[in-house]
Chains A and B, each alone.
Chain A
Amino acid sequence: EVQLVESGGGLVQPGGSLRLSCAASGFTFSSYGMNWVRQAPGKGLQWVSDISSSSSTIYYADSVKGRFTISRDNAKNSLYLQMNSLRAEDTAVYYCAREFTSTRALDIWGQGTMVSVSS
């Protein structure tokens, strides 16, 4: 079964750091680009970051540029999001999503992990 499972969310104080992980299974992880998408409580989807299959190209939303770092370990079938200098507005459910190569559709999504930034 094709699956993505996020972990690492939790409650953190403003200015703090958190590292999210996304474990992939059921497909050849190293062949696909991956994305992080977040959703604040009661709000819509917001794209966060994208990394190519080989990590050669990386892009960030302006709102997280300079604070968040996306990375992957193809040997471990894992995607990561290092989040530093966290703000209250970063509070959201964070989803990892697979980018199907030929169509660029975000075709597989994880169940999400909740990040709460509050003092």
Chain B
Amino acid sequence: SYELTQPPSVSVSPGQTASITCSGDKLGDKYAFWYQQKPGQSPVLVIYQDSKRPSGIPERFSGSNSGNTASLTISGTQAMDEADYYCQAWDSSTVVFGGGTKLTVL
């Protein structure tokens, strides 16, 4: 079965750039999606089809996907961005999630 691998944790200072990676076999041939989940809340879509932002998602969130790695980048990270982030791809007609990355802003 298809697998997506994320680092368990990433730390960033306020105002700096955070980058979260997601690795999978030939992931660049698929679309990557990213979800943000804050404690006690439901996931929120922040990036779809590799690099597109849904309405209402700040411009500081961006994404890329090439080769075996997709990346979520948060520029000018704010304290409110502290959350768990999950990458996701479709493998045939099934959804695959990465294990999640806890972003700490300190």
Residue positions of A touching B, CB distance < 8 A: 35, 37, 44-47, 50, 57, 59, 61-62, 95, 97, 100, 103-107, 109-112
Interface size on B, residues (CB 8 A): 25
Q: How distant is A98 from chain B, measured CB to nearest CB, in Å?
A: 10
Enumerate chain B residues within 8 angstroms of A35, measured Cβ to Cβ: 95
Enumerate chain A residues within 8 angstroms of B93, measured Cβ to Cβ: 50, 57, 59
Closest to B33 in A: A105
Closest to A110 in B: B42
Chain B interface main SS type: strand
30 of the cross-chain contacts (CB-CB < 8 Å) are A37-B43, A37-B97, A44-B84, A44-B86, A44-B97, A44-B98, A44-B100, A45-B35, A45-B37, A45-B86, A47-B94, A47-B97, A50-B93, A50-B94, A59-B94, A61-B94, A97-B43, A103-B31, A103-B48, A103-B49, A103-B52, A104-B90, A105-B33, A105-B45, A105-B48, A106-B35, A106-B45, A106-B95, A107-B45, A112-B42
Enumerate chain A residues within 8 angstroms of B99, measured Cβ to Cβ: 44
Enumerate chain B residues within 8 angstroms of A47, measured Cβ to Cβ: 94-97
A39 to B74, CA, bound (A): 25
3 closest Cβ contacts across the A-B interface?
Answer: A47-B95, A105-B48, A44-B100
Contact of A95 among B33, B43, B90, B98 (CB under 8 A): B43
Asked if B21 lies at the interface with its beta carbon under 8 angstroms from chain A, I say no
Enumerate chain A residues within 8 angstroms of B98, measured Cβ to Cβ: 44
Are A107's CB and B43's CB within 8 A?
no
Asked if B54 lies at the interface with its beta carbon under 8 angstroms from chain A, I say yes
Enumerate chain B residues within 8 angstroms of A45, measured Cβ to Cβ: 35, 37, 43, 86, 88, 97, 100
